[in-house]
Amino acid sequence: MRLRCAVLDDFQNAALDSADWSPVEDRVEVVIFREHIADENELAARLAEFEIVVTLRERVPFPATLLDRLPRLQLLIASGMRNSVIDYEAAERNGVTVCGTASSSTPPVELTWALLLGLARNLVTENNALRAGGPWQSTVGADLHGRRLGLLGLGKIGSRVAQVGLAFGMRVSAWSHNLTKERADEVGVELAASKEELLSSSDFVSLHLKLSDRTRGLVGAAELALLKPTAYLINTSRAAIVDQDALLAALREGRIAGAGLDVFDTEPLPAGHPLRSAPRLLATPHLGYVSQSNYAAYYSHAVEDIQAFLAGEPVRRLG
C-alpha cells in the first residue's frame, strides 16, 4: 500500500507541475489541497490519514496540539530551511521527521522593488484610471534618485535590496541590533546611528529582519510617528515586526505617504479585513517567495526529501 502525501496550500495548483514526482509515485500517493485550512480541528481531521505532509513556508502552524492528533504522520516537509511555527519537540516526541528545502532570496528582493516602485509612481492608481477611461495623469510620482533608502536589516535580502537602491542613485543607510560599520561598509551603505535616526531621515523604509523576540513589534506607533509625511514603508519580511493597528491608523490619517505590504498577521487575509480597503496601501498576497524558480526548488527538494526518508537516510533535517 502506498503512503499518502498531502501538499498544503497549493493555491495555484502548481506543485505537481513544478517538479518531477515520478521517482516516488510508485510508493507515494500525492493529494493536493488547494484551499487553506485555518481551523486546527478541521486540519487534524483532514490530515489524519496522511503519512507525509508538505507545507508551504510558515502559513500552517504545526503546534503540539496538532501533531499529537496526527498518529500516522511520519514526515513533515516545510519549504525553506527555517520554520518558526513547527513545534520540533512535539514532532520528535511523535516520531515525525521534519525536513526543509532550498529557498532563494532573489524573489523577495524583486518583489520589494516592485512594491516600492509601484508606490513611488502610483502605478495602480494610474493603471486603473487608464483602463477605466479616467483622467490622463492624475498623480505626481516620487523620485528615487538622491532620496534616502533606509533598511532595517542588512542580511542576505537587505544587502541585495541595498545594491539596487545604490544603482538607482539613492543614498542608502541601514540599521539593526547587531549591524556593524564593517558590514555596512562592505555593502557600501551608511550605518545609521539608531533605529530612530534611520526612520526619521529616510524617504523609503524597507524591512528585512528575522522575526524574534527583539524584532516583534519593532515598528510601532512611536516609530511610525518618526517617519516623514512623505515617506513610504515597505514590509516583505514578517508582519509581526510592524504594529498592524498603528500602521492602519497612520495610513488612514495620512501621516505617511503610503505602505507596501506582502505579509500579514493572518494569512490568507480575511475578506473583510481593514487592510483590504486601507488608503495609501499597495498590498500583495504574500508573493515574495512565489516564483517559478522557488517553486521548482521547493517541490523538487520535497521529492528528494521523500526519497531520502523512504531510504532511511533523511536529508535537510530541521529542528
Instruction: Give Cα 258 distance to the centre of its chain.
Output: 19
Q: Indicate the helix (H) or strand (E) that contains 97.
A: strand 97-99
Asked if 60 and 84 count as a contact pair (C-beta separation under 8 A), the reply is no
Residue type (1 letter), 205: V
CA distance 141 to 91: 51
Catalytic member of 147, 238, 301, 304: 238
Residues in a beta bridge with 165? none
Catalytic member of 148, 208, 286, 301: 286
Instruction: Give Cα 198 distance to the centre of its chain.
Output: 23
Which string of DSSP letters, residue by residue, matches 209-269?
A: ----TTTTT-B-HHHHTTS-TT-EEEE-S-GGGB-HHHHHHHHHTTSSSEEEES--SSSSP
Which has the closest alpha carbon to 66: 89, 36, 43?
43
Q: Indicate the helix (H) or strand (E) that contains 292.
A: helix 292-310
The question of whether 238 is a catalytic residue gets the answer yes
The question of whether 177 is a catalytic residue gets the answer no
Q: What does each C-alpha distance from 89 to 8, 40, 43, 86, 187 come to in angstroms?
A: 22, 19, 20, 9, 38
Which has the closest alpha carbon to 3: 306, 299, 223?
306
Catalytic member of 40, 46, 267, 273: 267
The question of whether 267 is a catalytic residue gets the answer yes
Asked if 178 and 127 count as a contact pair (C-beta separation under 8 A), the reply is no
| Sheet containing 171-175: order of strands | 190-191, 171-175, 148-152, 204-207, 232-235, 258-261, 281-283
Taken as a whole, the chain contains a residue count of 319
Instruction: Give Cα 164 distance to the centre of its chain.
Output: 19
Q: Which residues are catalytic?
A: 238, 267, 286
